[in-house]
Amino acid sequence: MSVVLDMSTTTTAIARALAARTDLEQVAVITNGLKVALELEGAMPDVTVIVTGGTLRRLIAAAERTVVVAAGPKIGQAHLIRTADLADVGTVITGTSARAGAVAELRRAGADVIQVE
């Protein structure tokens, strides 16, 4: 299995959770974030870490499945940088604090939205 994590506080937390798991084998994590890579250091050799120097757009375009993990308050917010088009996203995992209107918009666009506490 391959996982692509960009550089953010949310993906750093995901990397920390992956590193704590003992059931992973032959997982490749591709990241452009040094903090993410360092969090995964303790999970080697079960997790192979590949640090890229560029953007994630090409990786998203080549991915079989794209999952976006974002904190609830970030859902529906406009930002300066666009990593992918909504049409390229299959699943969004977010908190229950995401605005209902923003979640509905994602679902109307065809994304599977999973809300967790």
pLDDT at 79 over 90: no
Extents of the domains making up the chain: 1-54, 63-117
**pLDDT bucket at 54, cuts 50 / 70 / 90:** low
Distance CA(106)–CA(68), nearest Å, equals 12
Q: Quick one: pLDDT at residue 104?
A: 96
Which residue is it, tokens 């937390």? Answer: 13
Q: What is the pTM of this model?
A: 0.73
